Amino acid sequence: MKPFVFPRWANNTIPFVGIVLGALPLFLISLVWYGAAPATQDVGYAPEQPVPYSHKLHAGDLGIDCRYCHNTVDKAAQAAIPPTETCMNCHTRIKTKSEKLQPVRDSFEKGTPIAWVKVHDLPDYVYFNHSAHVTRGIGCVSCHGRVDQMEIVTQVEELSMGWCLDCHRNPAPNLRPPAEVTNMNWQQPSSEFGEAFRAAHNLNPSTDCSTCHR
C-alpha cells in the first residue's frame, strides 16, 4: 500500500481550490478590461515637451485665443501644431535671451520643426474632424479640459469610443455658441439652453460606425 503524498487535512482545501480556479478567469478578464481601458492608461498622460510651453501663461494669463496657434481647428480635421514662425512672432522681441527658448530659436534659424509630443493621440483607425465639432458649438474645454490652467498639458478625458458615443447621444450639455468655443470660462446660462440650441440648429450627431471608422 502506497503512503499518502499529502496529509489528510489537505482534503479540506479542495473546495477553496475550486473557488480560486473558478474565479481566476473572471479576475484575469477584469484585470485586462480595466487595466487596458483608456481611463486607466490615457487619463493623466502629460509627456515632457522639448520646450516647456505653459498654456496657463499663454492661453490663461495672457488670454491668447486657441486659434492663434491652432489656426486650422475650425477649418480642417486637424487642429494644427503651430510652426516655429508663430512662436517667433512674439519671441523675436520677448525673452530673446531665455535659455528655455533656445530650441525655438534653433528651430527658426535652421528651418527645422520642433519635435512636439502629441498629447491627445487617437488611434489611426479613428477619424475625428475638429472643424465639424467646433463650428457646431463644441468647446475646446469639453475634450481637453481647462487647458488655460495647465502648466503642462494633460489628458483629462479618456477619449474612448463609449465616451464619444455618450456625447453623440446627448450633446446638449456640451453645446455653446460657436463664438464661445475657445472661451473656457463660458457656462450655459440655463439647464434648457443645450436642448434649445440643439433643436434650433438641428444637431443630431450620428452614432453610425462609419462616422468615425472609415
Range 82-105 average pLDDT: 96
Q: Which residue has better confidence, 123 or 13?
A: 123
- The residue-averaged pLDDT of 176-188 equals 97
Over residues 26-52, the pLDDT tens digits come to: 656 655 555 455 554 589 999 999 999
- The predicted model scores a pTM of 0.79
Domain ranges of the chain: 8-40, 52-82+119-212, 83-115
Average pLDDT of the chain is 90
CA angle 102-107-112, nearest 5°? Answer: 155
Confidence of residue 192 (pLDDT cuts 50, 70, 90): very high
Q: 127 and 214 in contact (C-beta within 8 Å)?
A: yes
Q: pLDDT (tens digit, 9 = 90+) per residue, 55-77?
A: 999 999 999 999 999 999 999 99
Residues of the chain with pLDDT > 90: what percent?
A: 79
Question: pLDDT, tens digit, for every residue of 127-147?
Answer: 999 999 999 999 999 999 999
Whether 166 has a pLDDT exceeding 70, the answer reads yes
Res 25: pLDDT: 73
- All three cell numbers of 212, joined, read 468615425
pLDDT given at position 3: 60
Mean pLDDT of 198-207: 97
Query: Residue 188, class by beta-carbon neighbours within 10 Å (0-12 exposed, 13-18 middle, 19+ buried)?
Result: middle
Question: Rounded to whole angstroms, how far apart are CA atoms 126 and 213?
Answer: 5
